[in-house]
Amino acid sequence: MKQSISVFGLGYVGCVSAACLAKAGHDVIGVDINPEKVRLISDEGRSPIIEPGLEPLIHEMTRSGALRATTSCREAIAQSDLAFVCVGTPGDINGQLNLDALQRVCREIGEALRERERPFTVVVRSTMLPGTLDNTVRSALLEGAGEAFEPRLRLAINPEFIREGSALKDFDAPPFTLVGCEDVATADLLRLVYRSVDAPFVHTRISTAEMVKYACNAFHALKVCFANEIGDSCDALGADAQEVMNIFCMDDKLNVSPAYLRPGFAFGGSCLPKDVKALLYAAHHADVGVPVLDAILPSNRAQIQKGIDAILATGKRRIGMVGLAFKPNTDDLRESPLVTLVEALIGKGMDLRILDRNVSLASLTGANRQYIIEEIPHISSLMCERPEDLIEHAEVLVIGTDNQDAEKICAQARPDQVIVDLTRSARGKRSSARKAA
Protein backbone atom coordinates (compact mmCIF):
# COMPACT_ATOMS: atom_id res chain seq x y z
CA MET A 1 0.00 0.00 0.00
CA LYS A 2 1.54 3.29 -1.15
CA GLN A 3 2.06 5.94 1.54
CA SER A 4 2.69 9.68 1.27
CA ILE A 5 5.78 10.25 3.40
CA SER A 6 7.81 13.31 4.37
CA VAL A 7 11.39 12.87 5.59
CA PHE A 8 12.78 15.67 7.76
CA GLY A 9 16.54 16.07 7.72
CA LEU A 10 18.48 15.18 4.57
CA GLY A 11 21.69 14.14 6.21
CA TYR A 12 23.02 10.60 6.14
CA VAL A 13 20.02 8.76 7.64
CA GLY A 14 17.45 11.02 5.99
CA CYS A 15 18.85 10.75 2.46
CA VAL A 16 19.17 6.98 2.65
CA SER A 17 15.69 6.61 4.18
CA ALA A 18 14.04 8.91 1.65
CA ALA A 19 15.61 7.23 -1.37
CA CYS A 20 14.93 3.69 -0.12
CA LEU A 21 11.33 4.47 0.85
CA ALA A 22 10.78 5.92 -2.63
CA LYS A 23 12.29 2.79 -4.16
CA ALA A 24 9.86 0.73 -2.06
CA GLY A 25 6.97 2.41 -3.89
CA HIS A 26 6.07 5.29 -1.60
CA ASP A 27 5.59 8.95 -2.53
CA VAL A 28 8.40 10.73 -0.64
CA ILE A 29 9.18 14.40 -0.06
CA GLY A 30 12.42 15.32 1.70
CA VAL A 31 12.67 18.40 3.89
CA ASP A 32 15.79 20.32 4.92
CA ILE A 33 16.62 23.88 5.93
CA ASN A 34 19.70 23.76 3.68
CA PRO A 35 18.59 24.93 0.21
CA GLU A 36 21.70 23.45 -1.43
CA LYS A 37 20.76 19.92 -0.30
CA VAL A 38 17.22 20.47 -1.60
CA ARG A 39 18.52 21.80 -4.93
CA LEU A 40 20.89 18.87 -5.42
CA ILE A 41 18.09 16.35 -4.93
CA SER A 42 15.18 18.08 -6.65
CA ASP A 43 16.92 19.92 -9.48
CA GLU A 44 19.88 17.67 -10.25
CA GLY A 45 18.89 14.25 -8.86
CA ARG A 46 22.17 14.11 -6.97
CA SER A 47 23.04 12.99 -3.47
CA PRO A 48 24.22 15.51 -0.84
CA ILE A 49 26.29 12.74 0.80
CA ILE A 50 28.77 10.13 -0.37
CA GLU A 51 27.40 6.60 -0.12
CA PRO A 52 27.87 3.76 -2.63
CA GLY A 53 24.82 3.42 -4.89
CA LEU A 54 22.89 6.30 -3.33
CA GLU A 55 23.31 8.91 -6.07
CA PRO A 56 22.09 6.64 -8.89
CA LEU A 57 19.12 5.69 -6.72
CA ILE A 58 18.23 9.32 -5.96
CA HIS A 59 18.60 10.16 -9.65
CA GLU A 60 16.24 7.34 -10.60
CA MET A 61 13.67 8.20 -7.92
CA THR A 62 13.59 11.92 -8.71
CA ARG A 63 13.21 11.23 -12.44
CA SER A 64 10.29 8.90 -11.73
CA GLY A 65 8.61 11.49 -9.50
CA ALA A 66 8.68 9.24 -6.43
CA LEU A 67 11.15 11.54 -4.62
CA ARG A 68 11.39 15.32 -4.38
CA ALA A 69 12.67 17.80 -1.81
CA THR A 70 11.67 21.16 -0.31
CA THR A 71 12.68 23.63 2.37
CA SER A 72 9.02 24.16 3.33
CA CYS A 73 7.72 22.20 6.31
CA ARG A 74 4.13 23.27 5.57
CA GLU A 75 4.36 22.04 2.00
CA ALA A 76 5.70 18.67 3.11
CA ILE A 77 3.09 18.15 5.83
CA ALA A 78 0.27 19.17 3.50
CA GLN A 79 1.40 16.50 1.03
CA SER A 80 1.96 13.63 3.48
CA ASP A 81 0.25 11.58 6.17
CA LEU A 82 3.42 10.23 7.75
CA ALA A 83 6.62 12.08 8.69
CA PHE A 84 10.00 10.51 9.41
CA VAL A 85 12.22 12.76 11.55
CA CYS A 86 15.91 12.09 10.85
CA VAL A 87 17.64 15.18 12.25
CA GLY A 88 20.87 14.90 14.17
CA THR A 89 21.11 14.61 17.95
CA PRO A 90 24.80 15.44 18.53
CA GLY A 91 26.41 15.08 21.93
CA ASP A 92 28.64 17.51 23.79
CA ILE A 93 32.03 16.58 25.26
CA ASN A 94 30.34 15.05 28.31
CA GLY A 95 27.86 13.03 26.24
CA GLN A 96 24.74 15.14 26.84
CA LEU A 97 22.58 15.17 23.70
CA ASN A 98 21.77 18.42 21.95
CA LEU A 99 18.07 18.15 21.08
CA ASP A 100 17.67 21.68 19.71
CA ALA A 101 17.25 20.58 16.08
CA LEU A 102 14.83 17.82 17.08
CA GLN A 103 12.70 20.25 19.09
CA ARG A 104 12.75 22.85 16.34
CA VAL A 105 11.66 20.41 13.63
CA CYS A 106 8.93 18.90 15.80
CA ARG A 107 7.62 22.34 16.72
CA GLU A 108 7.49 23.29 13.03
CA ILE A 109 5.71 20.04 12.18
CA GLY A 110 3.22 20.79 14.94
CA GLU A 111 2.59 24.29 13.62
CA ALA A 112 1.93 22.85 10.16
CA LEU A 113 -0.55 20.40 11.71
CA ARG A 114 -2.52 23.03 13.61
CA GLU A 115 -5.36 23.28 11.08
CA ARG A 116 -5.29 19.63 10.01
CA GLU A 117 -8.41 17.56 10.65
CA ARG A 118 -7.02 14.10 9.76
CA PRO A 119 -4.71 12.07 12.03
CA PHE A 120 -0.99 12.36 11.40
CA THR A 121 1.86 10.00 12.28
CA VAL A 122 5.33 11.19 13.31
CA VAL A 123 8.09 8.58 13.34
CA VAL A 124 11.47 9.51 14.79
CA ARG A 125 14.58 7.79 13.40
CA SER A 126 17.03 10.01 15.27
CA THR A 127 19.04 8.30 18.00
CA MET A 128 17.79 9.47 21.40
CA LEU A 129 17.70 8.25 24.97
CA PRO A 130 14.65 6.66 26.65
CA GLY A 131 12.04 9.24 27.56
CA THR A 132 12.85 11.62 24.71
CA LEU A 133 9.90 10.67 22.49
CA ASP A 134 7.33 10.97 25.25
CA ASN A 135 8.81 14.14 26.69
CA THR A 136 10.76 16.26 24.20
CA VAL A 137 9.17 15.12 20.91
CA ARG A 138 5.56 14.95 22.05
CA SER A 139 5.73 18.27 23.92
CA ALA A 140 7.36 20.08 20.97
CA LEU A 141 4.77 18.75 18.52
CA LEU A 142 1.87 19.76 20.75
CA GLU A 143 3.46 23.12 21.46
CA GLY A 144 3.19 23.75 17.73
CA ALA A 145 -0.11 22.00 17.01
CA GLY A 146 -1.97 22.80 20.20
CA GLU A 147 -3.19 20.37 22.85
CA ALA A 148 -6.43 19.83 20.92
CA PHE A 149 -4.50 17.93 18.25
CA GLU A 150 -3.23 15.26 20.67
CA PRO A 151 -6.03 12.71 19.94
CA ARG A 152 -5.07 12.83 16.25
CA LEU A 153 -1.32 12.60 16.80
CA ARG A 154 0.35 9.20 16.46
CA LEU A 155 3.95 8.78 17.58
CA ALA A 156 6.59 6.10 17.08
CA ILE A 157 10.33 5.59 17.41
CA ASN A 158 11.98 3.65 14.58
CA PRO A 159 15.77 3.46 15.15
CA GLU A 160 17.95 2.95 12.09
CA PHE A 161 20.58 0.21 11.84
CA ILE A 162 22.50 1.28 8.76
CA ARG A 163 26.26 1.53 8.37
CA GLU A 164 28.15 4.02 6.27
CA GLY A 165 29.46 2.25 3.20
CA SER A 166 26.70 -0.37 3.12
CA ALA A 167 23.65 1.76 3.92
CA LEU A 168 21.40 0.72 1.01
CA LYS A 169 22.01 -2.95 1.68
CA ASP A 170 21.47 -2.45 5.40
CA PHE A 171 18.20 -0.57 4.82
CA ASP A 172 16.82 -3.41 2.71
CA ALA A 173 18.04 -6.19 5.04
CA PRO A 174 18.63 -4.91 8.59
CA PRO A 175 18.87 -7.29 11.58
CA PHE A 176 15.28 -6.29 12.41
CA THR A 177 12.81 -3.48 11.85
CA LEU A 178 12.25 -2.02 15.30
CA VAL A 179 9.20 0.10 16.10
CA GLY A 180 8.29 1.48 19.49
CA CYS A 181 4.77 2.87 19.83
CA GLU A 182 1.75 2.77 22.08
CA ASP A 183 -0.87 1.46 19.66
CA VAL A 184 -1.21 -1.44 17.27
CA ALA A 185 -2.62 0.75 14.46
CA THR A 186 0.60 2.76 14.22
CA ALA A 187 2.68 -0.42 14.28
CA ASP A 188 0.53 -1.88 11.51
CA LEU A 189 1.00 1.26 9.41
CA LEU A 190 4.78 0.96 9.70
CA ARG A 191 4.58 -2.73 8.97
CA LEU A 192 3.03 -1.76 5.62
CA VAL A 193 5.67 0.93 5.02
CA TYR A 194 8.42 -1.64 5.51
CA ARG A 195 6.67 -4.53 3.79
CA SER A 196 9.52 -4.90 1.25
CA VAL A 197 12.25 -5.00 3.91
CA ASP A 198 13.73 -8.43 4.53
CA ALA A 199 13.82 -8.51 8.34
CA PRO A 200 11.71 -9.48 11.36
CA PHE A 201 9.31 -6.71 12.38
CA VAL A 202 9.55 -6.02 16.12
CA HIS A 203 6.87 -3.91 17.84
CA THR A 204 7.78 -2.98 21.38
CA ARG A 205 7.40 -0.23 23.99
CA ILE A 206 8.75 3.22 23.18
CA SER A 207 11.43 3.27 25.88
CA THR A 208 12.63 -0.19 24.89
CA ALA A 209 13.04 0.82 21.25
CA GLU A 210 14.86 4.00 22.26
CA MET A 211 17.31 2.00 24.41
CA VAL A 212 18.01 -0.85 21.96
CA LYS A 213 20.08 1.39 19.66
CA TYR A 214 22.31 2.40 22.57
CA ALA A 215 22.68 -1.20 23.71
CA CYS A 216 23.70 -2.21 20.18
CA ASN A 217 26.24 0.55 19.70
CA ALA A 218 27.72 0.15 23.18
CA PHE A 219 28.18 -3.57 22.49
CA HIS A 220 29.75 -2.86 19.11
CA ALA A 221 32.20 -0.46 20.76
CA LEU A 222 32.89 -3.00 23.49
CA LYS A 223 33.61 -5.69 20.90
CA VAL A 224 36.14 -3.50 19.12
CA CYS A 225 37.97 -2.72 22.37
CA PHE A 226 37.76 -6.36 23.50
CA ALA A 227 39.20 -7.64 20.23
CA ASN A 228 41.99 -5.07 20.32
CA GLU A 229 42.93 -5.91 23.92
CA ILE A 230 42.93 -9.63 23.15
CA GLY A 231 45.07 -8.80 20.11
CA ASP A 232 47.54 -6.82 22.25
CA SER A 233 47.70 -9.70 24.75
CA CYS A 234 48.24 -12.21 21.94
CA ASP A 235 51.10 -10.14 20.53
CA ALA A 236 52.77 -9.95 23.94
CA LEU A 237 52.31 -13.64 24.72
CA GLY A 238 53.32 -15.01 21.32
CA ALA A 239 49.90 -16.05 19.99
CA ASP A 240 48.46 -15.25 16.55
CA ALA A 241 45.77 -12.61 17.26
CA GLN A 242 43.87 -13.05 13.99
CA GLU A 243 43.79 -16.83 14.29
CA VAL A 244 42.69 -16.66 17.94
CA MET A 245 39.74 -14.39 17.11
CA ASN A 246 38.83 -16.32 13.95
CA ILE A 247 38.50 -19.48 16.03
CA PHE A 248 36.73 -17.52 18.79
CA CYS A 249 34.08 -16.41 16.28
CA MET A 250 33.44 -19.99 15.14
CA ASP A 251 31.67 -20.61 18.45
CA ASP A 252 28.07 -19.55 17.83
CA LYS A 253 26.75 -21.39 20.90
CA LEU A 254 28.46 -19.27 23.54
CA ASN A 255 30.76 -16.61 22.05
CA VAL A 256 28.76 -15.07 19.18
CA SER A 257 25.28 -15.84 20.44
CA PRO A 258 22.64 -14.78 22.99
CA ALA A 259 24.50 -16.76 25.67
CA TYR A 260 25.54 -14.64 28.68
CA LEU A 261 23.61 -11.63 27.34
CA ARG A 262 20.55 -11.86 29.60
CA PRO A 263 20.51 -9.28 32.42
CA GLY A 264 20.63 -11.03 35.77
CA PHE A 265 23.10 -11.34 38.63
CA ALA A 266 26.89 -11.57 38.83
CA PHE A 267 28.93 -14.40 37.32
CA GLY A 268 30.90 -16.95 39.32
CA GLY A 269 32.06 -20.55 39.16
CA SER A 270 35.36 -22.29 38.71
CA CYS A 271 36.17 -20.91 35.23
CA LEU A 272 35.24 -17.31 34.53
CA PRO A 273 36.75 -15.62 37.62
CA LYS A 274 39.90 -17.75 37.52
CA ASP A 275 40.50 -17.34 33.81
CA VAL A 276 39.86 -13.60 33.76
CA LYS A 277 42.32 -13.18 36.64
CA ALA A 278 44.91 -15.32 34.87
CA LEU A 279 44.60 -13.34 31.63
CA LEU A 280 44.88 -10.04 33.51
CA TYR A 281 47.94 -11.32 35.38
CA ALA A 282 49.67 -12.33 32.16
CA ALA A 283 48.78 -9.07 30.40
CA HIS A 284 49.97 -6.91 33.29
CA HIS A 285 53.25 -8.78 33.59
CA ALA A 286 53.78 -8.27 29.87
CA ASP A 287 53.12 -4.53 30.37
CA VAL A 288 50.01 -4.66 28.18
CA GLY A 289 47.26 -2.16 28.97
CA VAL A 290 43.84 -3.85 29.02
CA PRO A 291 41.40 -1.33 30.56
CA VAL A 292 38.26 -3.07 29.27
CA LEU A 293 39.35 -6.44 30.65
CA ASP A 294 40.47 -4.73 33.86
CA ALA A 295 36.91 -3.47 34.35
CA ILE A 296 35.27 -6.93 34.25
CA LEU A 297 35.86 -8.05 37.85
CA PRO A 298 35.07 -4.66 39.44
CA SER A 299 31.87 -4.53 37.39
CA ASN A 300 30.96 -8.01 38.60
CA ARG A 301 31.64 -7.08 42.22
CA ALA A 302 29.44 -4.01 41.77
CA GLN A 303 26.48 -6.27 40.85
CA ILE A 304 26.97 -8.23 44.08
CA GLN A 305 27.12 -5.02 46.10
CA LYS A 306 23.97 -3.79 44.38
CA GLY A 307 22.18 -6.94 45.55
CA ILE A 308 23.44 -6.52 49.12
CA ASP A 309 22.34 -2.89 49.15
CA ALA A 310 18.86 -3.77 47.85
CA ILE A 311 18.35 -6.32 50.63
CA LEU A 312 19.66 -4.03 53.37
CA ALA A 313 17.49 -1.20 52.06
CA THR A 314 14.37 -3.13 53.06
CA GLY A 315 15.27 -2.53 56.71
CA LYS A 316 14.22 -6.08 57.58
CA ARG A 317 16.33 -8.74 59.29
CA ARG A 318 14.85 -12.16 58.48
CA ILE A 319 16.02 -13.15 55.00
CA GLY A 320 15.11 -16.21 52.93
CA MET A 321 17.22 -16.86 49.84
CA VAL A 322 16.57 -19.19 46.91
CA GLY A 323 19.86 -20.43 45.48
CA LEU A 324 23.45 -20.70 46.67
CA ALA A 325 25.37 -22.35 43.81
CA PHE A 326 26.89 -20.01 41.23
CA LYS A 327 24.21 -20.85 38.65
CA PRO A 328 21.11 -23.10 38.30
CA ASN A 329 21.33 -26.87 37.94
CA THR A 330 24.69 -27.25 39.65
CA ASP A 331 26.04 -27.79 43.16
CA ASP A 332 29.23 -25.78 42.53
CA LEU A 333 29.78 -23.13 45.20
CA ARG A 334 33.24 -22.02 44.11
CA GLU A 335 33.35 -18.26 43.48
CA SER A 336 29.55 -18.19 43.81
CA PRO A 337 28.36 -14.58 44.03
CA LEU A 338 25.49 -15.80 46.20
CA VAL A 339 27.96 -17.15 48.77
CA THR A 340 29.64 -13.73 48.83
CA LEU A 341 26.25 -12.09 49.27
CA VAL A 342 25.28 -14.46 52.10
CA GLU A 343 28.54 -13.86 53.95
CA ALA A 344 28.05 -10.10 53.68
CA LEU A 345 24.51 -10.37 55.05
CA ILE A 346 25.68 -12.57 57.93
CA GLY A 347 28.30 -9.94 58.70
CA LYS A 348 25.50 -7.36 58.88
CA GLY A 349 23.63 -9.47 61.45
CA MET A 350 20.90 -10.78 59.17
CA ASP A 351 18.98 -13.93 60.14
CA LEU A 352 19.22 -16.10 57.02
CA ARG A 353 17.68 -19.27 55.66
CA ILE A 354 18.74 -20.69 52.28
CA LEU A 355 16.99 -23.10 49.90
CA ASP A 356 19.03 -24.81 47.19
CA ARG A 357 18.09 -28.43 46.59
CA ASN A 358 21.32 -29.04 44.66
CA VAL A 359 23.42 -27.97 47.64
CA SER A 360 22.93 -30.48 50.42
CA LEU A 361 25.86 -31.51 52.61
CA ALA A 362 24.53 -35.06 52.73
CA SER A 363 24.65 -35.44 48.94
CA LEU A 364 27.71 -33.35 48.09
CA THR A 365 30.91 -35.15 47.18
CA GLY A 366 34.47 -34.27 46.19
CA ALA A 367 35.60 -30.67 45.83
CA ASN A 368 32.19 -29.15 46.54
CA ARG A 369 31.79 -31.09 49.80
CA GLN A 370 35.30 -30.15 50.83
CA TYR A 371 34.68 -26.53 49.97
CA ILE A 372 31.55 -26.20 52.08
CA ILE A 373 33.13 -28.03 55.04
CA GLU A 374 36.41 -26.11 54.98
CA GLU A 375 35.50 -22.71 53.61
CA ILE A 376 31.88 -21.98 54.55
CA PRO A 377 30.82 -24.48 57.28
CA HIS A 378 28.68 -21.79 58.95
CA ILE A 379 26.47 -21.56 55.86
CA SER A 380 25.49 -25.24 55.89
CA SER A 381 23.56 -24.68 59.12
CA LEU A 382 21.38 -22.10 57.34
CA MET A 383 20.10 -24.50 54.67
CA CYS A 384 16.45 -25.57 54.70
CA GLU A 385 14.72 -28.33 52.78
CA ARG A 386 11.32 -26.96 51.74
CA PRO A 387 9.99 -23.75 50.18
CA GLU A 388 7.41 -23.57 52.98
CA ASP A 389 10.20 -23.35 55.57
CA LEU A 390 11.74 -20.42 53.74
CA ILE A 391 8.43 -18.60 53.38
CA GLU A 392 7.58 -19.11 57.06
CA HIS A 393 10.93 -17.66 58.16
CA ALA A 394 11.44 -14.70 55.86
CA GLU A 395 10.41 -11.08 55.85
CA VAL A 396 12.45 -10.65 52.68
CA LEU A 397 12.56 -13.30 49.94
CA VAL A 398 15.69 -13.12 47.80
CA ILE A 399 15.54 -14.86 44.41
CA GLY A 400 19.13 -15.76 43.55
CA THR A 401 18.33 -18.64 41.19
CA ASP A 402 15.53 -18.82 38.64
CA ASN A 403 13.97 -22.28 39.12
CA GLN A 404 10.75 -24.04 40.13
CA ASP A 405 11.31 -23.32 43.82
CA ALA A 406 11.63 -19.62 43.02
CA GLU A 407 8.39 -19.76 41.03
CA LYS A 408 6.57 -21.51 43.86
CA ILE A 409 7.89 -19.13 46.49
CA CYS A 410 6.95 -16.02 44.49
CA ALA A 411 3.45 -17.43 43.96
CA GLN A 412 2.97 -18.25 47.66
CA ALA A 413 4.62 -15.16 49.15
CA ARG A 414 2.55 -13.26 51.68
CA PRO A 415 1.47 -9.67 50.98
CA ASP A 416 3.74 -8.41 53.77
CA GLN A 417 6.86 -10.05 52.32
CA VAL A 418 9.28 -8.12 50.12
CA ILE A 419 10.73 -9.87 47.07
CA VAL A 420 14.23 -8.92 45.93
CA ASP A 421 14.74 -10.60 42.54
CA LEU A 422 18.45 -10.76 41.69
CA THR A 423 17.75 -12.79 38.55
CA ARG A 424 15.50 -10.06 37.04
CA SER A 425 13.13 -12.78 35.87
CA ALA A 426 9.58 -11.94 34.80
CA ARG A 427 8.13 -13.74 37.80
CA GLY A 428 9.92 -11.36 40.13
CA LYS A 429 8.17 -8.35 38.58
CA ARG A 430 4.79 -8.40 40.19
CA SER A 431 4.01 -5.09 41.82
CA SER A 432 6.32 -2.33 42.98
CA ALA A 433 5.02 -2.80 46.51
CA ARG A 434 6.29 -6.37 46.47
CA LYS A 435 9.67 -5.84 44.80
CA ALA A 436 12.70 -3.99 46.10
CA ALA A 437 15.39 -4.71 43.46
**C-alpha–C-alpha distance, residues 383 and 362, integer Å:** 12
Q: What confidence score (pLDDT) does residue 430 get? A: 41
Active site residue 106: no
Query: Using 50, 70 and 90 to split pLDDT, how confident is the model at 134?
Result: very high
**C-alpha–C-alpha distance, residues 335 and 325, integer Å:** 9
Query: Using 50, 70 and 90 to split pLDDT, how confident is the model at 435?
Result: very low
Domains of the chain (ranges; CATH) run: 4-204 (3.40.50.720), 207-261 (no CATH), 300-434 (3.40.50.720)
**C-alpha–C-alpha distance, residues 119 and 107, integer Å:** 17
Q: What confidence score (pLDDT) does residue 366 get? A: 60
Residues near 159 by Cβ (< 8 Å), separated by ≥ 6? 125, 127, 178, 209, 210, 212, 213
* 42 touches 48 (CB < 8 A): no
Task: Using CA atoms of 171, 176, 179, 184 in order, give the dihedral in degrees to the nearest 10.
Answer: 120
Q: What does the mean pLDDT of the chain come to?
A: 91
Q: What confidence score (pLDDT) does residue 318 get? A: 97
Instruction: Considering the candidates 20, 86, 249, 271, report the single residue annotated as catalytic.
Output: 271
Query: Using 50, 70 and 90 to split pLDDT, how confident is the model at 265?
Result: very high
User: What share of the chain in percent tops pLDDT 70?
Assistant: 95
